């Protein structure tokens, strides 16, 4: 009987000891979880990389929004200047329209390139001719290109142009004050190829008609001689 009791006691002790060991193992497992395996580490890495990319995208978005904002601010600041330029351009177009309509309604004016020309029918001195042109809102013609010279040649007129050396003998200037650069004198003018008039008062340039060389049609004569003239009015005179 005693042996039986002792055996039971031993069995009970084993059960109790086994339960205690199991409890200890559970406590240890709960207190010290095992480190993540390889798949867990990869997951953490992917999360970190994704977060980093989001940060980079946010910075790029902020920079783009700042650039757009600066550009819009600059365009806004330029609007008043652009508006003023449009007003000036509109007024200029209105002037040119009025100018063109006015000249087209007058059969005495002819257009060449960007300018209008009037050939007078009444003979006057050089000074009187210039005054007549100025009263028409124009001035005696300035010939500063080969195209203009050929245009004059086609007119085949003996007429005053806006060239004189009355201010300083031998220093030829146009009526706008610019010096003579390109010359279209006849072969023996002025003064047989020189620059100084032979006779007093020969200080004004006139076209000679009947010439056969388009670029040799100028002559200088006494400014008191009466002749017709050619008036010139260009768009830039409207400014």
Chain segment 142-195, per-residue pLDDT in tens = 999 999 999 988 988 899 999 999 989 889 999 999 999 988 998 777 653 444
Query: Can you give the pLDDT at residue 143?
Result: 93
Domain-wise residue ranges, the chain: 109-238
Chain segment 98-135, per-residue pLDDT in tens = 555 454 445 678 899 889 999 999 999 999 999 999 99
User: Does 77 score more than 90 pLDDT?
Assistant: no
Query: Can you give the pLDDT at residue 161?
Result: 96
Question: Which of 17-21, 31-35, 66-70, 125-129 is predicted least confidently?
Answer: 31-35
Query: Can you give the pLDDT at residue 61?
Result: 86
pTM, 2 dp: 0.53
The chain-wide mean pLDDT, for the chain, equals 77
Question: Which of 13-22, 40-49, 161-170, 185-194 is predicted least confidently?
Answer: 13-22
Q: Please choose, from the candidates 232, 197, 230, the residue with its C-alpha nearest in 3D space to the C-alpha of residue 123.
A: 230
Query: Can you give the pLDDT at residue 101?
Result: 47
Question: What is the CATH topology of the domain spanning 109-238?
Answer: Mannose-Binding Protein A; Chain A (3.10.100)
């Amino acid at each position: 009987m005693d042996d039986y009791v002792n055996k039971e006691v031993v069995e009970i002790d084993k059960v109790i000891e086994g339960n205690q060991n199991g409890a200890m193992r559970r406590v240890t497992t709960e207190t010290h979880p095992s480190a993540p395996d390889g798949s867990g580490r990869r997951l953490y890495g992917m999360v970190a990389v994704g977060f980093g990319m989001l940060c980079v995208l946010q910075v790029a978005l902020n920079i783009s929004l700042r650039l757009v904002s600066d550009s819009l601010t600059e365009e806004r600041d330029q609007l008043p200047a652009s508006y003023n330029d449009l007003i000036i351009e509109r007024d200029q177009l209105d002037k040119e329209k009025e100018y063109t309509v006015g000249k087209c309604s007058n059969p005495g004016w002819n257009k060449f390139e960007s300018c209008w020309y009037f050939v007078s029918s009444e003979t006057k001195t050089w000074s009187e001719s210039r005054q007549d042109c100025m009263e028409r809102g124009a001035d005696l013609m300035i010939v500063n290109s080969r195209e203009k010279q050929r245009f004059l040649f086609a007119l085949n007129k003996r007429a005053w142009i806006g060239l004189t050396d009355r201010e300083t003998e031998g220093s030829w200037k146009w009526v706008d004050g610019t010096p003579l650069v390109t010359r279209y004198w006849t072969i023996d003018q002025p003064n047989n190829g020189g620059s100084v008039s032979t006779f007093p008062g020969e200080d004004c340039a006139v076209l000679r008609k009947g010439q056969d060389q388009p670029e040799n049609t100028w002559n200088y004569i006494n400014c008191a001689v009466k002749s017709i003239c050619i008036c010139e009015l260009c768009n830039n005179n409207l400014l």
